[in-house]
Amino acid sequence: MTNINQIDKGKWDIKRSLNNGETISDILTLDIIKQWGRGNRILISGNTGSGKTYFIMNFLHNQCEEKEYKILLLTNRTLLKDQLQTEYYHKVNDVITIWNYQFFSERIKYNNFYNSFDIIVADECHWFFSDSTFANETDIPLKYLTGNTQNSTIIFISATSQTLEEYLDRDNKLDFKYQFIKPYEFHNCYYWNDIDVIKKLLVTLPADEKAIYFCSSIDNAYKLHREFIKTSAFVCSKNNYKYGNKSDSDTMNQIRESESFDKQILITTKVLENGVNLKDNKIKHIITDIYDFETIIQCIGRKRITDSSNLPSIYIKQKKQPSIQATINNINQFLRPLDCFYNEFKHFNKKYGRKNLNGLLYTVCADSDNRLSGWEVNEAKKMKYVHDRKLAEEVCLRDKNFGHLMYLCDCLDIDFELFENLDLYYTKITVEDKLNQYLDTPLYGSDKSQFIEMLKKDVLKPLQGGYKADTINRYLDNIGLPYYIRTKKQGSRKSIYYGKRAWILKKRE
């Protein structure tokens, strides 16, 4: 089984571990980068903390400034772009222009990109494949960067470059390849199965410790945030049609400007897993339920380690054989339209023309004068699906219960035996734990509805007379739970809830 940290050294111009305090800039010296010319494509693979950003923004910037070269730096998230702008704009804007991939892709798609750049840096370049599972046209910028760019030097940079390397190696499109490995270190490593055990962990966090939860489902992420309404912040893409307006803009600004956040718990999605730095020493717990290996590695790399006394603990959702087999089945289902496209094209439009093709095929303008369009295969997405299916099959064969975790350990170059079952340390969250999350917090509207839904699920039987405060109070008293609801009318005219009555959960002494 291929391991991203065990690729044949002979395939790399340089492959080595970084010593204490050593960074990429110490190894990719001026003599080495002088070998790079226009039209060359370079891959630099280095995990978190290896100094990839410093190499671009300092070493490469300084060399280009002397030669009056211009650099286009491509990033995969608006938040990452903003964070780079905040930290470096005043220093590098004379040389480096920062765009995100989506903007770059639109310019290329509509023939609106004039390449005046001497160097194009594709940072976090795993974006072509990790985002290709939900973005339909990631191959547009990838085809451009691997095609006719003879006037520019193209540099691909990522902590997780395996899929890109396989893609580019097919046609020998890489001229130079470098891999740098900084050993991963963690305080403790756990695997988990039951979200209620994670909730127990979160409700018992010490006051001076913070946690990040990277959630594969945005619905589940927001639901979890609502259960920890006082102590958590929810962050997702502002472009998400369902939850974008619920994303905490104050927390996003804190991450952008200070690389930290005020709330004790940050609940987020993949929007935060790429390149964003968090330099908060209080972040002690990194939790994820994500399946994809490269995404997990990106997630746990968001916390920047300042010294060995500040290591986080990681909590990885265990993926057993039934879950992995479901992933394989889903991929096979996703690939069926492509099989039809290749082998039964005359039936393709009738069978799939108006259906969701999971981004594997998209329409392009073939003849604008005659308003004709044609189908284009997203090769990046196709390769990602095929790669993931093969890997999932290998993981299943390795071990039906721990194959996924074992492979992740290979990727991180850590001992599988370091992982412990979180169930040995935490019980499931209790009703009292959940009620305590709402103590002394005024509840209006949707927050009140969320509270009632929690009560219906975990505490109450169907109540005659509905779920009014007095009815709930009588029931809580009857079953011996020392909580009650007090109602209070909002009297401040400055409040959006002026004149409305809040529920406030209290606890009897």
pLDDT of 221 higher than 90: yes
| Radius of gyration of the chain from its Cα atoms, rounded to whole angstroms | 26
Q: Return the minimum-mean-pLDDT range out of 87-91, 133-137, 334-338, 480-484.
A: 133-137
Query: For the chain, which residues make up each domain, given as ranges?
Result: 9-181, 189-320+401-424, 322-392, 431-507
What is the pairing mode between strands 71-75 and 119-122? parallel
Share of the chain above pLDDT 70, in %: 91
| Architecture in CATH for domain 189-320+401-424 | 3-Layer(aba) Sandwich (3.40)
Provide the pLDDT confidence category of residue 1 given band limits of 50, 70 and 90: very low
Helices 345-352 and 321-343, axial angle in degrees (round to 10): 120
**What tens digit of pLDDT does each residue of 402-448 get?**
999 999 999 888 999 999 999 999 999 998 999 998 999 999 988 89
> 24: how many CB neighbours lie within 10 A of its CB?
23
C-alpha 301/C-alpha 280 separation (Å) is 13
User: In this predicted structure, what is the pLDDT of residue 273?
Assistant: 54
What is the pairing mode between strands 153-158 and 41-46? parallel
Provide the pLDDT confidence category of residue 8 given band limits of 50, 70 and 90: very low
pLDDT of 279 higher than 80: yes
Per-residue DSSP letter, 11 = G
Q: Is 125 helix (H, G, I), strand (E, B) or coil?
A: coil
pTM for the structure as a whole: 0.83
> 446: how many CB neighbours lie within 10 A of its CB?
10
DSSP string for 147-190: SS-TTSEEEEEES--HHHHHHHHTTT--SEEEEEEPPP--S-EE
Q: Residue 216 in contact with residue 234, Cβ under 8 Å?
A: no
pLDDT of 366 higher than 60: no
Q: How far is CA 316 from CA 62, 130, 195, 291, 335, in A?
A: 40, 19, 11, 9, 28
| Architecture in CATH for domain 9-181 | 3-Layer(aba) Sandwich (3.40)
**What tens digit of pLDDT does each residue of 52-96 get?**
888 988 889 889 988 899 999 998 766 666 667 666 766 788 888
